[in-house]
Structure 1
């Protein structure tokens, strides 16, 4: 029964998890509030806070799992993609821990791990399945043929869906992080109050830069007529933006599922925590006769449990790396 310690530090969450024979025993996430003052993640500050958080996070993960460092059989870590300084902290800690304990090292692709988070649950998708992976920097439709045999069949040509939500929140004057606040406001709004354009991109690829621009001009023009427009219509604006982003994503996913004839459909990534997207996929799944899989909220945002489950399946294949491994800001699927 392999016991794996997993480390995640790709952006601004420092996370540690312990996995025993494929079961998650602990999942500790230390968030960084320092970025709120800047309206976004400051890479240099993120890496410094990771250095402060990583030892306490690992200690708490071991404590919650009721295991000691002597029980660990391997160390899994996020190699990339992500912020290089943030990744460096996690990779360095994993290498040092493994070297000191003479343990094997397991590198994990952050985006693959988001998809493999579905294998934490008791009910799992069957291969092959399609996964809509939506995070702050990535928007992809992935054909998942096996645990580590994944093909990106559609991706954003410019901005990601998460970036569109973040930009909208800034336009509306919402504090960082704005995505959850858009979601919260949207719950009280009319999603059909305002109409925003849907980009006409061939195939399964996405584009959100035009949508961001249309939202900017829409707000600018209406505020010019009524300075109180945002405050008076915040819920409806958020609901309408959220609906348009969700329909862009789901229309592409529906087209991909139809072409590939696949019924097992999964959702992953930080934006998969968005209520409108989750509800939209669930409704579309019932309409299309899909088997829909959505992770628990704690496994949607960046977390080490998904690194642990990916590391577990790599451990079974004896897929290890040596101490020369280095972080990669860009790491293909």
Structure 2
């Protein structure tokens, strides 16, 4: 079969026309014809062997892509997690981890959305326990997942949404998606901290959804630092580490403010939360997209061109989707 294949750890995938077709094992596994699969930071990190979920694995030639959209033998369109890699003509999936697509959503959008939904809705619902009317700060909102997080926060009833980012044009566009205030990370540290402090003083920040970590996370935590008086509780949820995997955190911050720090990602979710993601959250977001109430911008690449575009950074918060 035609597929993108990573033959050596750390190398980019190569387009191959005669890779062996995967074989289903067990009653829960079925073979599907793949139509679209998104290329995500997670896929690239796992492919390179750097992601914590695969660091100790013995590398074998394999197809990347953890999920995608395909067609069952009876013609039903589904989104599913792959048992085998999904950036290929065929893939093995589990019946228990597939979602039938509603009419009105195209394969490309359906392939692009789920990872971003998991990277925002799971944090908002289960780690931050968001309530309607709360103030949400999204650090790194100009990426694809950040833009989805803005819309989901609004859908969940956020009273105010503050967004940070580097791309000024994309930051401004977030105001049309539901953001209320923008904080450029291109300004100097002192002004960045001051702007966050002013916002926090006027409308206390209940939740921080963080996709960047690194230096901006340090600055936001510094802005939340108390001065010995009673403080407003803030739930800080780390989801990504685009600008650095480590931070320096002063113990004074932890002692001076009512702060909850947690993470949201593979391994941190319970089985019950994962079941809700597949049975309720993603289907609900698919329907919103089908009804044109959730916007997802994408850029497509044909399977045979995967080598040329694998390492491309898609601009303006779009998701790269491989069509098959």
Q: Write 1 or 2 for the structure with the bigger share of strand.
A: 2
The answer to whether TM tops 0.5 is no
Provide TM-score, normalisation by structure 1.
0.36
Q: Write 1 or 2 for the structure with the bigger share of helix.
A: 1
Structure with greater contact order relative to length (CA < 8 Å, sep ≥ 6): 1
